[in-house]
Amino acid sequence: MAKNEKIKIYMLLVFVMITWGLNVIATKVLVAAFTPLTITSIRIFTAAVSVFFILFFLKKIRIPTKKEWVYIVIAGLFNVVGHHYFLSLGLSKTSASNGGLILGLGPLLTTIVAFFFLGNKVSIVQMIGILFGITGVSFIVMVGNEGVSGISIGDLYVFLSIFTQAFSFVMIKKVSQSLDPRLMTGYMLLIGSGILFLLSLIQEPQGLSQLSNRPLGVWLIFLASAIVATAIGHMIYNDAIRKVGVTESAIFINLNPLFALVAAVVFLGEVITFSQIIGFLLILTGVLLGSGAFEDMLRQSKRKRKVPFKMNNSV
């Protein structure tokens, strides 16, 4: 892959992480204004419609094969249903700053899942990174909540949301060679929103009746979350998985908690605790080591030092 193309992908991934960090705040606002599952299912359906609208103009829409449908359904259950189900419930029961920090475990969990399902090797350095990440989460959910007895169920839900999403990235990688990940995103969102809506009818029978009489600002947040963060964000990220791989794409998720923390302070007025700062630094260190990013940087540095100096004889 050309260097300029990689830089373009990296810039797009940074943009996605900004939108996802802000989306933690948006989701926190939405689940406070509406019943969590109902508004999440409608938001995901809006995102699905947006994806197919974009793909229609790109002429990328086609019917998947039977084998592709299997991966779409499995990935949809984990990436959309599992991730957004647990995330919406989690953020209704914990702070946006805590949720954003726990979501930063994505690269580590992706590395672990890729080891089991893609056969990716895990080095000693990566194992140390995983331990750093686990320690970081412990600081956030235990030290900040007065020990094990104070662990929030919301924190657990957020952890489950990022774990299910990490598993889905492996499924996306498996099918991305034959099916455009952007099209896969659309089908995943469509199927997932339908399942989430059925769950909302069971768990939140009064959910639809609570959609009225909400201020315009809340609905603008809803549209930004659905179209920019969920539809466009997932299209870009899933396409990056095909181009640069599962682990390399996941490295950028370590930016997610940073943007979520800043947004939680700016927009929600949350106070960042010392345990959260320590937890963030541990998770960031864990991500750099555990995702393989640190080892990649060392290898690139060694390759550059080995390149011999060449005289330029041109006049």
pLDDT single digits (tens) 59-118: 999 999 998 898 889 888 998 999 989 988 888 888 877 787 787 777 778 777 877 776
At which residue do the structure tokens 């029978």 appear? 205
Q: Domain range spanning residue 225?
A: 3-302
Pick the more confident residue, 52 or 8. Answer: 52
Number of domains in the chain: 1
Is residue 145 in a domain? Answer: yes
- Determine, yes or no, domain membership for 80: yes
Per-residue three-class SS string for 33-54 = HCCHHHHHHHHHHHHHHHHHHH
pTM attached to this predicted model:
0.76
User: What confidence tier does 256 reach under pLDDT thresholds 50, 70, 90?
Assistant: confident
Note whether residue 165 is domain-resident. yes
> Which pLDDT band holds residue 222 (cuts at 50, 70, 90)?
very high
**CA-based radius of gyration for the chain:** 20
Residue 164 lies in a domain: yes
Contact 251, 109 (CB under 8 A): no
Angle at 112 between CA 81 and CA 92, to 5 degrees: 35
Question: Mean pLDDT score of the chain, rounded to an integer?
Answer: 82
pLDDT of residue 209 exceeding 50, the answer is: yes
Give domain status of residue 157, yes or no: yes
Is the residue at 32 inside a domain?
yes
At 310 the pLDDT is 52
| Greatest mean pLDDT range, 15-29, 34-48, 246-260 | 34-48
Closest of 87, 8, 1 to residue 44, by C-alpha: 87
